[in-house]
Amino acid sequence: MLNFNIPKEKKVRVILSTDLKNEVDDQFAMVQAILTESFDLKAVIPSHFGMEKSPHSQKDSYNEGMFILEKMGLAGKINMLNGAENAILNEQTPAVSEGAQFIIDEAMKADERPLFIAVLGALTDVSSAILMNPKICTKNVTVVWIGGGNWPSGGKEYNLKNDIAAANVLFKSNINVWQIPRNVYRMMPVSFAELYNKVRPCGEIGRYLAENVVEFNNKDVSRPSEYRILGDSPAIGVIMYEDCGTWKYKPAPEFTKDMNYIHNGKYRPIRVYDSINSRFILEDLYAKLKFFAEDIGNI
């Protein structure tokens, strides 16, 4: 059990948008967000990840989220809301979903605490919320996005590919954006030995997280043999500690169909991270998992 408490007024509001069943990284970020005392976790919005891997990817993500909550003994205690099933049609047309509506409702609340929306996949739901109600861009809201190619050129990147139009909606808006691009989120390698030493002993959820990584990687000869990059976890780290890495403010670019950046200087500055402190994030995860498992008598 954590031997400290954080007053409600010091907690930041957090919404997690995540393509949970895409691979095996989002699960770690979701668990860490749930266990972070300084977060007032308002909702998890399972998102789609295109049609290539599954014709019902959003539902797959939702089911994975529910499975994780069951493993943690938290079923029914975390707000789980459906995101859109597909990408937006264009930059003017939102993909309406209960997740997008919840983002609007939470952003418009008379709550002085900042709201962070951590997006660990396609930007469909947050950009749909912006299109549905642009007033949220005037509120104390920050979107933390794991996505986009290496600066300054850009290029192919999975989260961006699944909704390029939504990325343009977000980057052209006036809402606060912290971007963690591909070259930075890949600074989160962890070995199988480390996962089996630090994560697997931590109850049912720890066992699932560690074994799921190994099983996933072993299914494809092209995947790494003995490590995994936990590329979604930096979003949790920078909300906890915004200087959990180095960053610069840069004018928001646009995205081409080829996922390259267009640096025309037309849009407001965004925060772009160029490094991340993996030690801070991983050690925090390990400690929280251990305390959680001890607290529920599952270690």
* Residues 109-151: tens digit of each pLDDT: 999 999 999 999 999 999 999 999 999 999 999 999 999 999 9
Q: What is the pLDDT of residue 2?
A: 67
- Please state whether beta strands 261-262 and 254-255 pair in parallel, antiparallel, or not at all (unpaired): antiparallel
pLDDT for the residue numbered 296: 79
d(CA 115, CA 215): 35
- Residues 44/50/51/57 CA torsion (nearest 10 deg): -10
10 Å CB burial of residue 279 (0-12, 13-18, 19+) is exposed
Per-residue confidence (pLDDT) for residue 4, from 0 to 100:
82
Query: What is the reported pLDDT for 253?
Result: 98
Q: Is the preceding peptide bond at 234 cis, omega within 30 degrees of 0?
A: no
Ranges of the chain with pLDDT below 50: none
Write down the pLDDT at residue 103: 98
Residue with tokens 């499975």: 67
Structure tokens at 23: 């691979």
What is the pLDDT, as a whole number, of residue 299? 55
Sign of the C-alpha dihedral computed for residues 130, 79, 147 and 57 taken in this order: negative
Instruction: Tell me which residue of 192, 274, 236, 179 sits closest to 28, measured CA to CA.
Output: 236
Q: What is the set of domains in the chain, with CATH numbers? A: 10-295 (3.90.245.10)
Assessment of whether the complete model's pTM goes beyond 0.75 = yes
CB 113 within 8 A of CB 147: no
Q: Helix, strand, or coil here: 15?
A: strand
Q: How much helix, strand and coil, in percent to the nearest 5, is found in the chain?
A: 40, 20, 40
Residue 105 is predicted with a pLDDT of 98
